[in-house]
Structure 1
Amino acid sequence: MFIEQGLKSENKFWKYIVGSLIIIFASFLGQLPLLMALLYETFVNGKPYPNSNEAIMRFFQPNFTLFLIMISFVFIMLGIILVIRYLHHQTVLSVTTSRAKVDWNRIVFSFMMWSAITIVSTLLFYYYSPSDFVINFKPVPFAILALIGIFLIPIQTSSEEYIFRGYLMQGFANLAKNKWFPLLMTSLIFGGMHWFNPEVTKIGPIVLVYYIGTGLFLGIITLMDEGMELALGFHAANNLIGALLITSDWSAFQTHSIFKDISDPSAGLDVILPVVIIYPILLFIFSKKYNWTNWKEKLTGKI
């Protein structure tokens, strides 16, 4: 059983607090390349130092900014691996899946499913509201974006999955000795982590429904499937295909994507529709394909 794989007598909850602090420290180290680039431009080239996160996101050209931000997740992933192996004395596989090895077919299936839904929904929005979009495609910048995205965005999304659906899911299970508490806590923390995203400022706190709902969905498929493979594929598709397809002046990442959303930000169908309609449909598809049963026990049972 996936969530029980972290249940060991020596795995006290304080270790997860220490491990989380180590991972946070690794993220700070990962931000040093961005800081050094900012300082270089400030002191060598005389550019004024940006005084907000939004200004930082626009300080360099988009591909370079994305590269610098994504590099930090390489450090985070290394921190996660070190914490799992040397603080908790577990294998990375034990925080990934309950199967004997990672099921790449599950990752690919989930990735392709969400990629298809993202592409189709974006094209539908463009078809029905063309005035909300402009074509942003430039071949060379897009090709560079694709290279950065393909190599680094999966590291970013996998880092988040290992933290929330892997490490903390098992950590809260150690604390609570049940399954509903880890599911709830990791979803709330995952949603809260996005509080400082520019989308929240522009659209309002209602957008947290999407982030918390997404965290809940990813937690459910992890617990029901006894592993993170489906969540890893979904999250990679969500961020990679999203970065390649569409950007806006108020989104977290500014990219050389194919489309640019120029509409006024609002909490519309793109916020509510996934949580109340699309995610339940995906749960149904996954449950039929992978023969999920005993939902109540797997999502709320005691350990």
Structure 2
Amino acid sequence: MSLGSAYPAHEALVAPGRSKPQLWRLLLGLGMIAALSYALNLVLFLTLLRFTSLDWLIALEQGSTPLALLILLASFGFLTLGVGLAAALMQHRSLLSLIGAPGLMLRQFMGCGMAGLAVFATLLILPPYDFGAPLTANLSWPVWLGLLPLSLLALLVQVSAEELIFRGYLQQGLAARFQNPMVWLGVPAALFGAAHYMPQVAGDNALLICLWAMGFGLLMADLTARAGTLGPAIAVHFVNNIVALLVLGSPSSLHGLALYLLPYEMSDVAEMRPWLMVDCATMLVLWLAARLVIRR
């Protein structure tokens, strides 16, 4: 059995783009997404600059306060607007067609989301019971709970935008042009990993985090191709980021909405690398749990 034959459900997502499969259309569309997002973020930046200080805008880039991170996450909606425009103009397809059948997508999203939460809940009750040092309190419980609805909404905007670009527009566009799954699975995953290369924050761990993100992107691409919607990938990505950004944030960046901070920086080689291996194992368990959900 060929690799491509393992993904019959993927055709429901790819078919709307087969009438306009040219690679130049895909590349031009990606340029449109980048240009629109840059332009809207520039407008946002200049608007905020009129009412805030430059120091606050630095905090915005780092996501180091609740309001800053909420705005930063919500700004990913500009990417979603860009994807919708590019898909309409370049492939003559709707944004909804990139997501998949709404009813099926929602069922898969809910099922995979619940499975992911169950995985993390299980991890919380299993040893080890600490991270080698005490966690640092970041937000008080009342503040964290009060912000939680907005935090979840902003986080959903962020992960949905990333999935629409990498497992939606890019993966489906490549699949409409190339039959080999290694192309349309591998290229978006590689680019997703490259987008998470942050040597200024992660130091010597930057390459390993990039490789982790590539692996995550590949597993999300597999889920999307098996499910025929973006529901499972969005759900797994959402649950993963809830833990990483809202529960146990990194003191290095993007911790404005976190309840607790981890006791080490992303650049800490001795402390971070063993936990990266744990993250890899957790990622595989999340993927397997989602696979079980979509097989039902």
TM-score by length of 1: 0.80
Q: Alignment RMSD, CA only?
A: 2.9
Count of residue pairs brought into register by the alignment: 281
Q: Which residue of 1 aligns with 2:295?
A: 291
Q: Which residue of 2 aligns with 1:136?
A: 138
* Amino acid across the alignment from 1:127: Y
What SS is found at the alignment partner of 2:75? helix
Q: Provide, for residues 78-125 of structure 1, a one-character-per-residue CA deviation record: whole Å limited to 9, x for no partner.
A: 22122223432113332122x474431210121122233335446757
* Amino acid across the alignment from 1:90: R
Q: Which residue of 1 aligns with 2:256?
A: 255
Q: For 1:8, which of 13, 18, 22 is the aligned residue?
A: 18
Residues 3, 173 of structure 1: 8 Å contact kept? no
* Amino acid across the alignment from 1:255: G
**How has the CA–CA distance of structure 1 residues 26 and 132 changed in structure 2, closer, same or farther, with 3 Å as cutoff?**
farther
Residues 145, 255 of structure 1: 8 Å contact kept? no
What SS is found at the alignment partner of 1:131? coil
Instruction: Return the offset for 1:235.
Output: 1.1
CA–CA separation in structure 1 for the residues paired with 2:137 and 2:45: 29
Residues 247, 257 of structure 1: 8 Å contact kept? yes
Residues 30, 71 of structure 1: 8 Å contact kept? no
Q: For 1:18, which of 9, 24, 28 is the aligned residue?
A: 28
* Greater shift in the superposed pair: 181-190 or 77-86: 77-86
Instruction: Return the offset for 1:211.
Output: 0.6
Residues 30, 73 of structure 1: 8 Å contact kept? no
CA–CA separation in structure 2 for the residues paired with 1:211 and 1:15: 27
CA–CA separation in structure 1 for the residues paired with 2:191 and 2:82: 19
Instruction: Return the offset for 1:135.
Output: 2.8
CA–CA separation in structure 2 for the residues paired with 1:63 and 1:124: 30
**How has the CA–CA distance of structure 1 residues 107 and 198 changed in structure 2, closer, same or farther, with 3 Å as cutoff?**
farther
Q: Which residue of 1 aligns with 2:65?
A: 62
Q: For 1:34, which of 27, 34, 45 is the aligned residue?
A: 45
Instruction: Return the offset for 1:204.
Output: 3.3
CA–CA separation in structure 2 for the residues paired with 1:129 and 1:241: 14
Residues 7, 174 of structure 1: 8 Å contact kept? yes
- In the alignment, is residue 78 of structure 1 matched against residue 81 of structure 2? yes
Residues 81, 92 of structure 1: 8 Å contact kept? yes
Q: Which residue of 2 aligns with 1:230?
A: 232
Structure 1 or 2: more helix by fraction = 2
**How has the CA–CA distance of structure 1 residues 136 and 49 changed in structure 2, closer, same or farther, with 3 Å as cutoff?**
closer
**How has the CA–CA distance of structure 1 residues 70 and 203 changed in structure 2, closer, same or farther, with 3 Å as cutoff?**
same
CA–CA separation in structure 1 for the residues paired with 2:17 and 2:61: 42
* Greater shift in the superposed pair: 102-111 or 4-13: 4-13
**How has the CA–CA distance of structure 1 residues 34 and 71 changed in structure 2, closer, same or farther, with 3 Å as cutoff?**
farther
CA–CA separation in structure 2 for the residues paired with 1:95 and 1:103: 11
Q: Provide, for residues 195-241 of structure 1, a one-character-per-residue CA deviation record: whole Å limited to 9, x for no partner.
A: 13755326331122211110011011111222211001111112234
In the alignment, structure 2 segments of 5+ residues that lack a partner are 1-10
In the alignment, structure 1 segments of 5+ residues that lack a partner are 293-303
CA–CA separation in structure 1 for the residues paired with 2:286 and 2:250: 27
Instruction: Return the offset for 1:70.
Output: 2.1
Instruction: Return the offset for 1:11.
Output: 3.3
* Amino acid across the alignment from 2:282: I
CA–CA separation in structure 1 for the residues paired with 2:251 and 2:125: 19
- In the alignment, is residue 104 of structure 1 matched against residue 106 of structure 2? yes
**How has the CA–CA distance of structure 1 residues 285 and 75 changed in structure 2, closer, same or farther, with 3 Å as cutoff?**
closer
Q: Provide, for residues 227-282 of structure 1, a one-character-per-residue CA deviation record: whole Å limited to 9, x for no partner.
A: 2110011111122343220123213x12242211122533434322343x334444
**How has the CA–CA distance of structure 1 residues 203 and 121 changed in structure 2, closer, same or farther, with 3 Å as cutoff?**
farther
CA–CA separation in structure 2 for the residues paired with 1:3 and 1:55: 35
CA–CA separation in structure 1 for the residues paired with 2:146 and 2:40: 21
What SS is found at the alignment partner of 2:76? helix
Instruction: Return the offset for 1:17.
Output: 1.3
Q: Provide, for residues 131-155 of structure 1, a one-character-per-residue CA deviation record: whole Å limited to 9, x for no partner.
A: 2412334145313531331221101
- In the alignment, is residue 192 of structure 1 matched against residue 197 of structure 2? no
**How has the CA–CA distance of structure 1 residues 255 and 176 changed in structure 2, closer, same or farther, with 3 Å as cutoff?**
same
CA–CA separation in structure 1 for the residues paired with 2:56 and 2:110: 42
